[in-house]
Every structure is written in C-alpha cells, then in structure tokens.
C-alpha cells in the first residue's frame, strides 16, 4: 500500500489518484523511484532540468517581449483611435452649437410670427366689430330714407317690393 506524500493518506494498490487530495499515484511512485538513482544520474537529471529550465525562461522572456511589443502597438492604435474620436467629438460639438443657434433663431422667428398673427387677429376682431357697427348704421339709414309707397290708383299703402296693389290689382311702377 502507498502513502500520499502530499497529504499522508493511505492509497490502496491499483488506485491512480489519492482519494483525499487528488494527487496522481504515479508521481508518488516516481518520487520513490528517484530515491534509488545514483549521484551521476541525479547530476545529469539535475543538469537536464537546469537546461530545460533555462530554455523555458528564455522562451518566457521572448514571449513577454513579444507581448510587450504587441501591447505597445495596441496602445499606439488606441491613442490614434482616441485622438480621432476626440476630433470627431469636437466637430460634432461645433455642429451641435450651430444647430442650437439655428433652432434658437427659428424659435425667435416663430415667436415673432405668433405675435404678428395675434396682432392680426386682434385687428381682424376690431375690423369685424367696426364692420358690424357700420352695417347696423347703414340699415338704420336705409330704413330712415325709405318713404312709404302708395298705390298710384287707389292710394293704398304698399308693402316694400310689391309689384301689384293688393286692393285694386293695378301694376305699380
């Protein structure tokens, strides 16, 4: 029976992973096998590991440098894009100010037009009242001017617009 080097749990034969911490049994067996290596083998293994480690570090450094270059490119592109966006924002702000001034002018003209329309409506009302008064005055004058009409034959008082006398039947001139 094996014992997990990580947690100390007893591991039965044939089990591939520690049931308590999940450490692979193979790594436990490999650790036990390493204990039986000679110094020459351990030295060679150590040198191989150092070489592998150096290679991994060099690869990591290259990757980091490449990532830094890519990051610099992204920064430059981002700064360029930000600059373009800021320029567009300034353009749109200028257009917005022009449209705002235009709308303000239109609102002022609409206000003037409304005031003029109200003035005209007031004048129209005054003119309508004056026209009404004049019509009433004209009707009154017409009624004053009208002299009663009498039948030329029998002297009967005729209604306005009468063509024949209702008393004698003579046609009126």
Strands (E), 5-155: 10-11, 149-150
Task: Quote the pLDDT of residue 64.
Answer: 95
Q: Is residue 2 predicted with pLDDT exceeding 60?
A: yes
> pLDDT tens across 27-75, in order?
444 444 445 667 777 777 777 788 888 889 999 999 999 999 999 999 9
How high does pLDDT run on average in the chain? Answer: 87
Task: Quote the pLDDT of residue 29.
Answer: 44
Highest-confidence segment of 8-12, 16-20, 28-32, 59-63: 59-63
Task: Quote the pLDDT of residue 37.
Answer: 67
Find the DSSP H helices in the chain. 25-34, 39-145
Report, as an integer, the average pLDDT of 145-166.
86
Strands (E), the chain: 2-3, 10-11, 149-150, 157-158
Q: Is residue 153 predicted with pLDDT exceeding 70?
A: yes
Distance CA 123, CA 121 (A): 5
Distance CA 97, CA 90 (A): 11
Percent of the chain whose pLDDT exceeds 90: 53
Instruction: Find, among 153, 151, 143, 141, the residue nearest to 162 by Cα.
Output: 151
21 in Cβ contact with 6 (< 8 Å): yes
Look-up: residue for tokens 């014992």? Answer: 3
Q: What is the pTM of this model?
A: 0.36
Task: Quote the pLDDT of residue 23.
Answer: 85
> pLDDT tens across 70-112, in order?
999 999 999 999 999 999 999 999 999 999 999 999 999 999 9
Task: Quote the pLDDT of residue 43.
Answer: 76
């Amino acid at each position: 029976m094996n014992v997990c080097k990580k947690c100390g749990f007893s591991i039965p034969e044939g089990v591939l992973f520690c049931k308590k911490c999940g450490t692979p049994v193979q790594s436990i067996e490999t650790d036990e096998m390493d204990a039986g290596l000679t110094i020459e083998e351990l030295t060679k293994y150590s040198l191989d590991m150092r070489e592998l480690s150096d290679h991994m570090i060099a690869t990591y450094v290259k990757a980091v440098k490449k990532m830094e270059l890519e990051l610099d490119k992204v920064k430059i592109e981002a700064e360029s894009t930000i600059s373009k966006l800021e320029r567009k924002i300034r353009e749109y702000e200028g257009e917005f100010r022009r449209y705002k001034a235009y709308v303000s002018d239109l609102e002022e003209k609409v206000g003037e037009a409304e005031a003029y329309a109200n003035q005209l409506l007031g004048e129209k009302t005054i003119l309508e009242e004056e026209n009404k008064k004049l019509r009433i005055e004209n009707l009154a004058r017409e009624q004053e001017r009208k002299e009663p009409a009498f039948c030329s034959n029998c002297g009967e008082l005729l209604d306005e617009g009468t063509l024949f006398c209702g008393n004698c039947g003579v046609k009126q001139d």
